[in-house]
Amino acid sequence: MNTTTLLLLFADMAEKLLNASRSITLLAGIASVLLIMFSVILAENETERLFKVRKYSIVTFLISLAIFIITPSSKTIYIVAGANVTNELLQTETANKAIKLLNQKLDEALGETK
């Protein structure tokens, strides 16, 4: 598979990953806030189990938030794929001939206007 195909596949997966990480971030954030509130209310009865659950929810929140922030949108990936295809096309022999012909015609047109 070439790079462009992989980018197009990743564009579809990125949208799903963004939706999943958005949901997980929201749920883990709410759980973290609630667990911190319960910890403050039950400060004298803080158990090891409540501490572990709170720690796991905060870690889950931070990891999903990082994934949400780092994952590019599908539009960004499509732009990169388009730039990649354009670069590949410009390096072909046909594109080089077309650019040379275009430059020649532009030079001729500019020469006539002087």
Token output for 25: 């971030």
**Angle at the Cα of 25 (from 22 to 29), degrees rounded to 5?**
145
Render each residue's pLDDT in the chain as its tens digit; 114 residues: 677 788 888 888 888 888 888 898 888 888 888 877 877 777 666 677 777 777 888 888 888 888 888 888 888 888 988 888 888 888 889 888 988 999 999 988 888 765
Torsion, Cα of 38, 40, 42, 43 (10° steps): 150
Q: What are the residue ranges spanned by the domains of the chain?
A: 3-113
pTM of the complete model: 0.61
